[in-house]
């Protein structure tokens, strides 16, 4: 497919801007362009077709199930888009005085109060723009806490091997040494191994829960107590909060700080790279260090300021407020019962699909799962040569988005499915049947699976090469 720049033809330029009737002003030369601005010259019809074709090449939840584990690619109610696009919410400037943005401040305060209730925490900031960004803010808060207590010998952050990959990356970004703890046979943190690494050099433990195996840790209370006893603090990675929404609260489990991915659980379409929101919630002991804007209410109305000992801004102003607006609209429309239903259906759907598949596919940690589960294709690979990648690519030929593959690392030939709460039983049945058929084909026609995808937009790109040496600038004449 040609880029829109290649489709541009000189002379087609449409003069849609009316001729200027105001007196012309000449700017100083250093402020003007030295060469003419190269604008596209393309008809409106062609432009509309171009973007339509591009949209048809993409796959989204509007096309079908998108079971990408740990990403919560679910249907996001369109009404939340309308709320976020309300003119009163979009046509303002972040530097307007508080008296002129009373509505926004009240909305954000409601959002904070709801999320405090959902998480069992004491304060919330919307400033972080993504999950990983929220983790960064959270671990920095923990650092501020230890430093304030003169406890500067704590140089380590414990991260179980079933954590999301951003957890160790965050700890390292914040200057900590990452200490890995293995999982036990049930997929939870190996508590005995944990006790061996705990000590007065540990700043924090970061727990992804449910972990990347889709399992909620059974020993969670014991774990947070052990960490606290050693003087460390506990971080909860709540990116996939739909597994426990309205049912269990990290604040009650002994965690001191956490983030939520509003763009996952709370209804912002994502996958194209943003904008997102990794709202951070924390207990009172960390509240004073929070980044972002402190919103309060007095007799005059809503006010804004900074937290007393703030670690400084880590993003802009209030964060990505449109994402927060969607999240708040989502929570208000769901209400308490609706939020509980989200969690129950997310867990039910994953367990239903797992049950359909477990007769034919090996599921290593199969004790019941939360919102997602992980299949291993190791046995299939040994018997037929068909890998997790072959299965994933064959799903594309069947019109379904593949799951997350080769993650978590502790499962070989891993395929991580997160069906989400917004899929119907029929769609779970259909996709499971596709997977069962692929398994049969591995024995009868493995070559077909090795060659997949035949129907995708591209075949099998060099993914490592694309990540390591990305070509980010369009070169004229090069076919994309």
Ligand X SMILES: *Cc1c(COP(=O)(O)O)cnc(C)c1O
Query: What residues make contact with ligand X under the rule CB under 6 A?
Result: 70, 130-132, 164, 166, 208, 237, 239-240, 261, 276, 278
118 close to 241: Cβ distance less than 8 angstroms: yes
Beta strands 202-208; 233-238: pairing state: parallel
2 close to 471: Cβ distance less than 8 angstroms: no
Joined tokens for residue 464: 């490592």
| Cβ distance to ligand X smaller for residue 138 or 254 | 138
| Cβ distance to ligand X smaller for residue 203 or 206 | 206
| Cβ distance to ligand X smaller for residue 242 or 376 | 242
Could you tell me the smallest distance in angstroms from the CB atom of residue 209 to ligand X? 9
| Cβ distance to ligand X smaller for residue 104 or 417 | 417
| Cβ distance to ligand X smaller for residue 233 or 243 | 243
138 close to 280: Cβ distance less than 8 angstroms: yes
| Cβ distance to ligand X smaller for residue 139 or 239 | 239
Could you tell me the smallest distance in angstroms from the CB atom of residue 129 to ligand X? 8
Could you tell me the smallest distance in angstroms from the CB atom of residue 421 to ligand X? 15
Could you tell me the smallest distance in angstroms from the CB atom of residue 410 to ligand X? 15
Could you tell me the smallest distance in angstroms from the CB atom of residue 65 to ligand X? 18
Could you tell me the smallest distance in angstroms from the CB atom of residue 282 to ligand X? 17
Could you tell me the smallest distance in angstroms from the CB atom of residue 131 to ligand X? 2
318 close to 96: Cβ distance less than 8 angstroms: no
Q: Which residue number has the CB closest to ligand X?
A: 131
Could you tell me the smallest distance in angstroms from the CB atom of residue 236 to ligand X? 10
| Cβ distance to ligand X smaller for residue 131 or 292 | 131
| Cβ distance to ligand X smaller for residue 76 or 261 | 261
End-to-end CA distance of the chain: 7
Phi, psi of 64 (to 5 degrees): 170, -170
Could you tell me the smallest distance in angstroms from the CB atom of residue 343 to ligand X? 16
Determine the Cα–Cα distance for residues 344 and 85; give it in Å rounded to an integer.
30
Three-state SS annotation for the chain: CCCHHHHCCCCCCCCCCCCCCCCCCCCCHHHCCCCCCCCCCCCHHHHHHHHHHHHHHCCCCCCCCCCECCCCCCCCCHHHHHHHCCHHHHCCCCCCCHHHCHHHHHHHHHHHHHHHHHHCCCEEECCCCCHHHHHHHHHHHHHHHHHHCCCCCCCEEEEECCCCCHHHHHHHHCCCEEEEECECCCCCECHHHHHHHCCCCEEEEEEECCCCCCCCCCCHHHHHHHHHHCCCEEEEEECCHHHCCCCCCHHHHCCCEEEECHHHHCCCCCCCCCCCCCCEEECHHHHCCCCCCEEEEECCEEEEECCCCCCCCCCCCCCCHHHHHHHHHHHHHHHHHHHHHHHHHHHHHHHHHHHHHCCCCECCCCCCCCCCEEEECHHHHHHHCCCHHHHHHHHHHCCCCCCEECCCCCCCCEEEECCCCCCCHHHHHHHHHHHHHHHHHHHHCHHHHHHCCCCCCCCCCCHHHHHHCCCCCCCCCCCC
134 close to 155: Cβ distance less than 8 angstroms: no
Could you tell me the smallest distance in angstroms from the CB atom of residue 258 to ligand X? 11
Could you tell me the smallest distance in angstroms from the CB atom of residue 261 to ligand X? 5
| Cβ distance to ligand X smaller for residue 132 or 328 | 132
Question: Within a 10 A sphere around the Cβ of 186, how many other Cβ atoms?
Answer: 14
Could you tell me the smallest distance in angstroms from the CB atom of residue 193 to ligand X? 21
| Cβ distance to ligand X smaller for residue 320 or 432 | 320
| Cβ distance to ligand X smaller for residue 20 or 467 | 467
| Cβ distance to ligand X smaller for residue 239 or 395 | 239
């Amino acid at each position: 497919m040609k880029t829109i720049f290649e489709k541009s033809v000189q002379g087609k330029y449409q003069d849609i801007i009316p001729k200027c009737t105001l007196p012309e002003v000449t700017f100083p030369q250093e402020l003007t362009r030295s060469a003419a601005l190269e604008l596209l010259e393309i008809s409106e019809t062609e432009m509309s077709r171009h973007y339509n074709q591009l949209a048809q090449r993409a796959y989204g939840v509007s096309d079908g199930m998108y079971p990408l584990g740990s990403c919560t690619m679910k249907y996001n109610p369109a009404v939340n888009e309308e709320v976020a696009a309300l003119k009163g919410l979009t046509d303002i400037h972040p530097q307007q005085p508080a008296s002129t943005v009373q509505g926004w401040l009240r909305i954000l305060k409601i959002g904070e109060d709801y999320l405090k209730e959902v998480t069992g925490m004491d304060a919330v900031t919307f400033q972080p723009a993504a999950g990983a960004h929220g983790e960064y803010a959270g671990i920095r808060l923990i650092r501020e806490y230890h430093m304030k207590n003169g406890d500067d010998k704590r140089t380590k952050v414990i991260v179980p091997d079933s954590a999301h990959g951003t957890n160790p990356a965050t700890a390292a970004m914040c200057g900590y040494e990452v200490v890995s703890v293995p999982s036990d046979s049930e997929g939870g943190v190996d508590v005995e191994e944990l006790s061996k690494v705990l000590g007065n050099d540990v700043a924090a433990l970061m727990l992804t829960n449910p972990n990347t195996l889709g399992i909620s840790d059974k020993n969670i209370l014991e774990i947070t107590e052990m960490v606290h006893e050693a003087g460390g603090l506990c971080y909860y990675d709540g990116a996939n909060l739909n597994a426990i929404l309205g049912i269990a609260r990290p604040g009650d489990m002994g965690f001191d700080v956490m983030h939520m991915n509003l763009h996952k659980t709370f209804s912002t379409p994502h996958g194209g790279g943003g904008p997102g929101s990794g709202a951070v919630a924390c207990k009172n002991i960390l509240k004073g260090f929070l980044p972002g804007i402190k919103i309060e209410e007095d007799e005059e109305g809503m006010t804004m300021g900074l937290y007393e000992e703030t670690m400084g801004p880590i993003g802009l102003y209030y964060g990505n407020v449109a994402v927060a607006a969607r999240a708040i609209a989502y929570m208000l429309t769901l209400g308490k019962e609706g939020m509980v239903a989200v969690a129950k259906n997310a867990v039910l759907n994953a367990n239903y699909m797992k049950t359909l598949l477990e007769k034919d596919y090996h599921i290593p940690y199969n004790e019941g799962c939360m919102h997602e589960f992980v299949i291993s294709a190791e046995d299939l690979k040994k018997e037929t040569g068909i890998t997790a990648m072959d299965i994933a690519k064959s799903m594309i030929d069947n019109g379904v988005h593949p799951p997350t593959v080769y993650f978590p690392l502790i499962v070989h030939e891993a395929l991580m499915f997160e069906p989400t709460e917004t899929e119907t039983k029929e769609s779970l049945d259909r996709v499971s049947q596709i997977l069962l058929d692929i398994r049969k084909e591995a024995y009868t026609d493995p070559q077909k699976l090795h060659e997949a995808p035949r129907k995708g937009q591209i075949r099998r790109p060099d993914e490592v090469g694309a990540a390591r040496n990305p070509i980010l600038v369009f070169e004229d004449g090069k076919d994309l």
